[in-house]
Structure formats: C-alpha cells, structure tokens
Copies of this chain bind each other. A is one copy, B any other.
Amino acid sequence: MTRARIVETATRLIDTEGVAALTMRRLGAALDVEAMSLYRYVNGREDLLEAVVDALVDSIEIPAASDLQPVDGWQAFLQVLAHNVRQVAIEHPAAFPLIATRHPAAPWLRPPLRSLRMVEAFLTGLEARGFSQRQAVGAYRSFTSFLLGHLLLEAAMQGAPLAPAEEPLDEGDAHVPNRDAELDVREFPTVARLRRPLAEDHTDEEFETALEHLLVRLDLENAQ
C-alpha cells in the first residue's frame, strides 16, 4: 500500500464511475482495506483529489529536443505538447475537469499546465527556441487558455452518458427544457434549421485549426 497506488486506483475509479463515486469508503474497498487506512497516506479527500490532479498533470509528456526534428522550432514544440495534453484529457474525461476547477497553488500556475515542473519545461522550451522572456510568458498564458477551453469542452461532451437521465418534475411539465428529439421549432427556429450542422462533431479539426491559428498569432506577435 503506497500513496501512489491509492492515487492510481482513485484515478481509475473517477474515470470509470465519475468523481461523485470516489468515496473514501469505496476507494478503500477497491484496495481491499478499510477507509480509515487511507488516512495514513492521504490527508483527507481533498488532498487525495489534489494528488490525482498532480499525477495527471505530471503524466503529460513534454517534448524533448530528441523527440523533434532538428529543423523544428517552437511551433513543433507547442504542437506536440498540445497533442500530449489533449491525449491525457481524452484518456481521463471525468478527471480532467478537476484539473481545470481546483485552484492552483500559485496564481500563475494555470491549468492545465498547473505544476512548477510543467511551467519550467514550457518556458525553457520556448526560450531555447528563440522566445524572449515576455514572449514566453505571454505564450504560456495564451496556450493554457486555449487548451483549457477546447479540452474541457471535449471532456464534457465525452462524459455525457455518465449522467443518469433525470426525470422532469410532475408539476410544471410545461417548461421542461426540450431534449434532443423534441425541439420546439416555433420557439427556436434557427436552432431547428441548423440542427444538422450543429450536431456534427468536428472536435479534431476544431482543435487543429484553433491551434494553428494560435501559432500564427504567436508568430505575428514575436515578429513585431
């Protein structure tokens, strides 16, 4: 029994059954131990969640110089890093929101790159590829905002089936928000008309093109 093992199975429990299902007692059971034993390794539930987040962030692979072609510059660095973060988000759709939601220790540790190790690697990575100090810091800000927006949306859409369909109240049936199939064409004609294009899933291209645009933007700012 180690803290690492606890964090591991906690992460798995979250990913398979949702954050709400992560209970000290259930986690204990999953580890064949009583809940109270966990308090030897973990400072309560909050500390456990924090540890899960830290482990997830630490599992993001940072592209080393050897991973990239010698000709590649910062663009390749950010490209690869972005996809590595995305991979973690996709692998842990239920746990990823925790990364976004829990307040980081310092105000400049921005999710999802919210660890000192991560920030250090990011900044040195960009400075090594020609960014000035201000440019590197600015890129850290834009890059994190970009990742958070896209990946949280992606994760939220994945987790949908986990939420048990809720029954509407008996009373007030009149104003239950319309679900999927039954859409009030009178009240929302435009949504009804654009139903098809709205329903299409373009997550991959969206991420790709938004990333591309961010890189262009950074390039322009650096040239100025």
Residues of A within 8 A of B (CB): 3, 43, 46-47, 50, 54, 97, 100-108, 110-111, 115-117, 119-120, 123-124, 127, 133-134, 136-137, 140-142, 144-150, 152-153, 156-157, 159-160, 162-163, 166-169, 172, 177-180, 183, 187-191, 193-194, 197-199, 201-202, 206, 210, 213, 217
- Cross-interface CB contact of A115 among B3, B157, B163, B177, cutoff 8 Å: B177
9 nearest interchain CB pairs? A149-B149, A145-B149, A108-B198, A148-B149, A123-B190, A120-B188, A137-B197, A103-B160, A124-B190
Q: Are B54 and A157 in contact (CB under 8 A)?
A: no
Q: How many copies does the complex hold?
A: 2
State the CA gap A183–B101 with chains docked (Å). 24
Give every chain B residue within 8 A of A177 (Cβ-Cβ): 54, 105, 115-116
Find chain B residues with CB under 8 A from A134 CB.
197
A199 close to B148 (CB less than 8 A): no
Specify the chain B residue showing the minimal Cβ separation from A148. B149
A47 to B166, CA, bound (A): 8
- Given the known interface contacts A119-B191, A149-B146, the answer about A43 and B169 at a Cβ–Cβ threshold of 8 Å is yes
Decide if the interface of chain A is mainly helix, strand, loop or mixed.
helix
A140: nearest chain-B partner, CB-CB: B198
Given pairs A43-B168, A105-B179, A137-B194, 5 additional interface contacts (CB within 8 A):
A43-B167, A102-B156, A116-B178, A124-B190, A149-B150
Give me 18 A-to-B residue pairs in the complex whose CB atoms sit less than 8 angstroms apart, sorted by A's number.
Answer: A3-B172, A43-B167, A100-B156, A104-B160, A106-B179, A110-B153, A115-B177, A119-B188, A120-B188, A120-B189, A120-B190, A124-B190, A133-B194, A145-B210, A148-B152, A149-B152, A152-B152, A213-B213
Please name all residues of chain B whose beta carbon is closer than 8 Å to the beta carbon of A167 when the two chains form the complex.
43
Say yes or no: A157 contacts B107, CB within 8 Å: yes
- Flag if B163 contacts A103 (CB, 8 Å): yes
Q: Nearest B residue to A133 by beta-carbon distance?
A: B194
Q: Which residues of B contact A145 (CB under 8 A)?
A: 149-150, 153, 206, 210
